[in-house]
Chains A and B, each alone.
Chain A
Amino acid sequence: MPIQHQASVISNTRTGAYQLLTLTAGEIPKEFKPGQFVTLAIDGLSSGLILRRAFSIYQAQDRGVYGGTIDLVVAAHGEGTKWITQLKRDDSVNIVGPLGKPFSIPKDAVSCVLIGGGYGAAPLFRLAEALRSRGCRVDFILGAQNSEKLFGILEARRLGHNVLITTQDGSSGHQGLVTDVLPDLIAKADSQVIYSCGPMPMLQAITKIAQAHQIYSFTAVEEAMACGIGVCMTCVLPVIGDDGVTRMVRSCVEGPTFKGERVRWDEVGTIPPDTYGAGNQ
């Protein structure tokens, strides 16, 4: 069950191109599962920015000196996220979470690849811990535009068997995309499941490779949201259901994690003609 909590900022520190924000979170960490997210309101009840901003939960601590706390990775994109990156210790911010469907975890001890694009890597570390506690082998691929935008390399080295790095400008690791190094890793590690979080084209390309290797792909999507709790219907994308029918589903409550092959990636941003209810516009 999601909880609304008036949080205090414990710390806000720079990490590469991002801010690492630690907040008090009350009971939220008790409810949290890897892949879920929280939303933050921008300032108080006189703010001109009325929509919440959504962030994957990077870390969640059940109890400590401050009670429950969560860590988020934030990049300043616009006015709202800029406000968040400038929060100071003891500042107050309203949070709602945990939200969304967590990643599915395999029952058996299988070999898994976790792929993060930029700060999209944030939800993968708690996932890695959950997988390792099931006896799964975990390998990481972390990619970004440049080395400053890579996130979580040390954490990945602590948790992962192999950690591969890619940057588009070549400032760190392999020059290119995460998908350049994925097929070799799958062969070497005998990977059975891929988990990924990052930009939509990356998730689509990873799913294609997973399908070619006949292995599972679980993706965590990023869609623009207004509410994050399933009531506004803005964050929809075309997803094929268990019955084979495509519906416009909410990425906030039916996602953000989806089986990669169920998302109609090429048609995100459209209503495919065979979508349920598409004939009645």
Chain B
Amino acid sequence: MVMKTKSGLIDMSCNFFDAKLPSPVFTASGCAASGKELSQFMDLTTIGGIVTKSVMLEARAGRATPRMSETPSGMLNGIGLQGPGIDAFLETDLTWLNEKKIATVVSIAGNTVEEFSKLAFKLKNRSDILAIEVNISCPNVENRNKVFACNPVTAQEAIKAVKKHISDIPLLAKLSPDVTDIVEIADASIKAGANGLSLINTLLGMVIDTKTFKPVLSGGTGGLSGPAIRPVAVRVIHQVRAAFEDIFILGSGGLRTGSDGLEFIAAGANALSLGTIIFNDPTSPVRIHNEMAEHLTALNKTSLAQVRNMAHD
């Protein structure tokens, strides 16, 4: 019953820095936990790999419920980064992922620059991680809870704190689309040492219950995801690719079908990560890989690389 990808005659391989992966499709952070649950449905070694749920320094209970509200073609969530903390994560979750030979991008999130640094230290010199995703779209408790990724200076500080300890593992900066100039933040992140960018995180939103006239989510605001935000992601990827010809881009935001995936690749993404669609369709990573291969076959293409950046002149 466990599904595997089929590429047919299309070269669907993905160059992920020094690694060559069988597929460009990843699961996005926070949408696949640490892989165990989804491995009941599909062979995760046949997709690109997984991006783990952002792990913090300490165990964290997260926000009270309600943590979620369905929205038109999407959802709003405010989980509050519930998780086991980095030590338990490395001992249990990463050990399991390595045993199963699943390519793993570890996502880290800190409340402070110091926490980013401590997290990076824990990951130093590990050869069992494909990349580190630095989730800088979380609130900075030392700066009035303003999101690190919304300011080039704080974005740079967080990335630098990680880069200080990490030399041989690629770093991806996960950026928020809630900014005036995404290229400026991308530039700051690259200058701080990011080897690639994860585009995009959720958009900040709010839903109000019209019986109580109070926000539905316990935390008031939450992150908007799902197909509703897909055109925002395509625009951001296109804009950043136009500014940085060579930077590695892991594209995400509302992907639902193989056609959506090819849209991201044409905009400039090197690889894709699937988020909310996994809640709707747990085998979507395999389905979307296969749909992309079928779509390319119908267009008489021989490889995924042939459509990359095609939306640019």
Contact = CB atoms under 8 A, between A and B. Distances in A.
Interface of A: 1-4, 27, 41, 45, 48-52, 80, 94, 96, 223-224, 226-227, 229-237, 247-248, 253, 268-271, 275-281
Contact of B40 (A2, A232, A233, A277): A2
B246 interface: no
29 contacts: A4-B41, A4-B281, A41-B280, A50-B70, A50-B280, A52-B279, A94-B281, A96-B282, A224-B66, A226-B68, A226-B75, A229-B38, A229-B40, A230-B33, A231-B31, A231-B37, A231-B279, A233-B62, A234-B65, A234-B67, A234-B68, A234-B77, A236-B82, A237-B65, A269-B65, A277-B58, A279-B58, A280-B56, A281-B63
Contacts of A229: 37-38, 40-41, 282
B72 to A, nearest CB: 5
Contacts of A280: 56, 58-61, 85
A224 B62 CA distance: 16
Which 6 A-B pairs give the minimum distances between C-beta atoms? A277-B59, A277-B61, A227-B279, A234-B68, A230-B37, A280-B58
B307 interface: no
Contacts, number: 125
Contacts of B59: 276-277, 280
B278 A231 contact: yes
A236 B30 CA distance: 15
Contacts of B68: 224, 226, 232, 234
Given A50-B276, A51-B279, A229-B37, A271 B77 contact: no
Contact of B41 (A2, A45, A233): A2
B80 A234 contact: no
Given A233-B33, A237-B65, 10 more contacts: A1-B40, A51-B280, A80-B70, A96-B282, A224-B66, A229-B41, A253-B37, A270-B64, A279-B58, A280-B59
Contacts of B40: 1-2, 229
Interface string B22-44: 00000000111100011011000
A232 B74 CA distance: 14
Contacts of B212: none
B79 interface: yes
Interface of B: 1, 30-33, 37-38, 40-41, 53, 56, 58-68, 70, 72-75, 77, 79-80, 82-83, 85, 218, 226-227, 256-257, 276-283
Nearest to B70: A51
Nearest to B82: A233
A248 B81 CA distance: 12
A253 B33 CA distance: 13
A236 B37 contact: no
B64 A50 contact: no
B289 to A, nearest CB: 15
Contacts of A52: 279-280
Given A231-B32, A277-B58, A280-B59, A50 B37 contact: no
A202 to B, nearest CB: 19
A96 B283 CA distance: 10
A232 B61 contact: no
Contacts of B61: 247-248, 271, 275-278, 280-281
Contacts of A224: 65-66, 68
Given A236-B62, A277-B61, A48 B72 contact: yes
Contact of A277 (B73, B79, B85): B85
- Count chain B CB atoms within 10 A of each CB in A51, A233, A279 and give the residue with the most: A233
B62 A50 contact: no
B73 A48 contact: yes
Contact of B77 (A41, A226, A268): A226
Contact of A232 (B65, B77, B85, B257): B77
Contacts of B79: 232-234
A260 B282 CA distance: 30
A145 B83 CA distance: 40
B1 A3 contact: yes
B74 A50 contact: yes
B37 A281 contact: no
